[in-house]
């Protein structure tokens, strides 16, 4: 279970946001649904960002998990809500990193120097959003993404291992309290999962 858990967290951070936090410094929220061969069961959750900070909420096999990432401080905090505990990790300790903030251009993702080999798949409505489809390589990984033409944010991402769908995207302000450890939660020593 430990291996699957870290694969999932890596995919949540690195794949859905294409190695970047969404929409620069703009607040953002979306629901996410993940499926794929690297996941034992489909996974649902939510992502919030205010630019430098990102909060991922997922239900992993019945266990609610929250991951807080701060690209300015390089901190990562995993919160186990059912256990009312958390573990803080420096950047690089876990196979997830807090990505820097930049947009993805729906009309030309290859305008980003880290994205190459772009092939257009045309326009389509995906998850209720007008989107442009692209196949490209990002950080050495082949990706197919449908990017909202209104938001310049992916509404569906497919890799060899996982498909991530975004829905109910919102640019409304995100409550700063979402990026804090809840009051009364205690630090945990070591990882909460066995091998």
pLDDT in tens, 111-154: 877 788 999 999 999 999 999 999 988 878 888 989 888 887 88
How confident is the model at residue 193, as a pLDDT? 45
On the question of pLDDT at 20 being above 70, the answer is no
How confident is the model at residue 58, as a pLDDT? 83
For residue 80, give every residue at least 6 positions away whose Cβ sits within 8 Å of its Cβ, in sequence order, or none. 63, 64, 65, 86, 188, 192
**Residue 6 to residues 10, 116, 193, Cα–Cα distance (Å):** 6, 27, 10
Q: In the predicted model, what is the mean pLDDT of residues 78-85?
A: 88
Question: CA 71, 77, 82 angle in degrees (round to 5)?
Answer: 145
Give pTM, 2 decimals. 0.75
Which residue did the predictor score with more confidence, 90 or 178? 178
Three-state secondary structure string covering 16-31: CCCCCECCCCCCEEEE
CA 124/CA 119 separation, integer angstroms: 15
Highest mean pLDDT among 29-33, 67-71, 74-78: 29-33
Which residue did the predictor score with more confidence, 22 or 127? 127
Contact predicate 156/135, CB 8 Å: no
How confident is the model at residue 194, as a pLDDT? 42
Which residue did the predictor score with more confidence, 71 or 55? 55
What digits encode the pLDDT tens for the residues 39-53? 777 888 898 888 788
For residue 89, give every residue at least 6 positions away whose Cβ sits within 8 Å of its Cβ, in sequence order, or none. 75, 76, 77, 78
How confident is the model at residue 175, as a pLDDT? 93
């Amino acid at each position: 279970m430990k291996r699957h858990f870290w694969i999932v967290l890596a995919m949540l951070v690195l794949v859905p946001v294409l190695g970047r936090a969404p929409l620069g410094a703009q607040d953002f929220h979306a629901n996410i649904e993940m499926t794929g061969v690297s996941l034992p069961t489909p996974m649902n959750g939510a992502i919030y960002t205010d630019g430098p900070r990102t909060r991922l909420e997922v239900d992993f096999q019945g266990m609610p998990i929250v991951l807080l990432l701060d690209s300015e401080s390089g901190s990562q905090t995993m919160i186990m809500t059912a256990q009312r505990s958390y573990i803080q990790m420096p950047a690089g300790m876990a196979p997830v990193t807090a990505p820097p903030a930049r947009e993805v251009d729906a009309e030309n993702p290859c305008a980003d120097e880290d994205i190459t080999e772009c092939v257009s798949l045309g326009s389509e409505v995906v998850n209720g959003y007008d989107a442009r489809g692209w196949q490209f390589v990002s950080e050495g990984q082949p990706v197919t993404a449908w990017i909202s033409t209104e938001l310049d944010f992916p509404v569906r991402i497919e890799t060899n291992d996982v498909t991530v769908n975004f829905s109910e995207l919102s640019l409304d302000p995100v409550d700063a309290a979402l990026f804090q450890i809840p009051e009364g939660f205690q630090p945990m020593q070591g990882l909460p999962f066995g091998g």
